[in-house]
Amino acid sequence: MNIALVTCETLAQYAAPNVDDEDNLLTRHLRQQGHHVEPRIWSNPAVDWLSYDVVVLKSPWDYFDRVQEFYAWLDRIEVQGVRLLNPVKTVRWNADKKYLRDMEQAGVRIVPTRWLVQGSAFQADELFETLGCERLVMKPSVSGGAKNTFELTRTEAVRRTPELTELLRHEDFLVQPFQPQIQEQGEWSLIYLGGEYSHCVLKTPKPGDFRVQHYLGGGIAAREAPDYLRRAADRIVHDFAQGCLYARVDGVEADGELLLMELELIEPFLYLASAEGSLVRYEQALTRL
């Protein structure tokens, strides 16, 4: 296959000593299987996307900083008939975390969420009372990489109200109760390739932090997914990731169930180096779709 592996202008800010360069790892493996693979920046207007058999979204990690431009790019390649994986319709839906509302309405258990509309004022006391928590997390509705993500006590939230209201002038946000399991147990990531379960990791934040991203010092450990988490993630992928090359289900354990944090269908790190055979499974999924 002639494959465009979609990336962004720079990956340097996401580099970390505790992970392999997954893009290069994947590219080498696919080339060894006889595929022609070229990294291509999604925002480069000179790229002829139709010259490829398939265009694979891998690391467009700046899309949330320029989301309207990203949407316009999706529109263009959809009109052109470019074969994108994951599918354009799914990617467009998954780009805004409001997709979680659809999943909750369909019966998926998500972290309780309040949605703050652009232009509204941040109301600390109301949010803490409504959510019934001592700490909350606030993040943009379109975001990635823990950008503009805050963990706040009530005192901190009140003190920072002008700053948070200013952020709301520019975009929608969501607010959720802080999940202590992230610091106590970690956050589970279950990775699926071609709709089939592949492997799982447990991500933990560095001491004193709540963010699990590896480039922020978070830890990554390969783990076998407990059966009850696996069953819940299987249903999520079956119901919401049809036709997808990859999916990553992120969540925590709560009362013996999976509490969904996010369903990553655009540019997740897939921890391919953490599981034997994952690169083989990736290539097999790619050739089946």
Closest CA to 26 of 285, 289, 242: 285
Q: Structural domain of residue 185, as residue ranges? A: 99-109+181-271
Tokens matching residue 151: 């963990």
> Are 205 and 221 a contacting pair, CB within 8 Å?
no
pLDDT in tens, the chain (289 residues): 999 999 998 765 555 544 458 999 999 999 999 999 999 999 999 999 999 999 999 999 899 999 999 999 999 999 999 999 999 999 999 999 999 999 999 999 999 999 999 999 999 999 999 999 999 999 999 987 777 888 999 999 999 999 999 999 999 999 999 988 887 888 999 999 999 999 999 988 755 555 445 555 557 889 999 999 999 999 999 999 999 999 999 999 998 899 999 999 999 999 999 999 999 999 999 999 9
Q: 144 and 233: one domain? A: no
Total-model pTM? 0.92
Q: 172 and 237: one domain? A: no
Question: In 10 A of CB 117, how many CB atoms?
Answer: 10
Q: 234 and 211: one domain? A: yes
**Angle between helix 278-288 and 22-32 (nearest 10):** 60
Note whether residue 286 is domain-resident. no
Question: In 10 A of CB 259, how many CB atoms?
Answer: 19
CA–CA distance, 237 with 225 (Å, rounded to integer): 15
Q: 123 and 79: one domain? A: no
Question: In 10 A of CB 35, how many CB atoms?
Answer: 17
- Give tens-digit pLDDT for 5-23: 999 987 655 555 444 589 9
Domain end point (choices 156, 177, 198): 177
Q: 89 and 104: one domain? A: no
Per-residue confidence (pLDDT) for residue 212, from 0 to 100 = 47
What is the tally of structural domains in the chain? 3
Q: 81 and 9: one domain? A: yes
From the CA atom positions of the chain, what is the Rg in Å?
A: 19
**What is the arrangement of strands in the sheet containing 84-85, beginning at the earlier edge strand?**
36-41, 2-7, 54-59, 84-85
Note whether residue 276 is domain-resident. no
Q: State the amino acid at position 156 in one-letter form.
A: E
Task: Indicate which CATH number applies to the domain containing 222.
Answer: 3.30.470.20
Q: 208 and 241: one domain? A: yes
- Give tens-digit pLDDT for 91-149: 999 999 999 999 999 999 999 999 999 999 999 999 999 999 999 999 999 987 777 88
Q: 168 and 188: one domain? A: no
Task: Return phi, psi of residue 242, to 5°.
Answer: -65, 135
Q: 139 and 37: one domain? A: no
Q: 23 and 88: one domain? A: yes
Note whether residue 285 is domain-resident. no
Tokens matching residue 5: 């592996």
Give the strand pairing for 84-85 and 54-59: parallel
Per-residue confidence (pLDDT) for residue 94, from 0 to 100 = 97
CA–CA distance, 239 with 241 (Å, rounded to integer): 6
Note whether residue 146 is domain-resident. yes
Q: 11 and 78: one domain? A: yes
Number of alpha carbons in the 13 Å side-chain half-sphere of residue 261: 28
Give the strand pairing for 246-254 and 187-193: antiparallel
Q: 129 and 250: one domain? A: no
Per-residue confidence (pLDDT) for residue 19, from 0 to 100 = 46
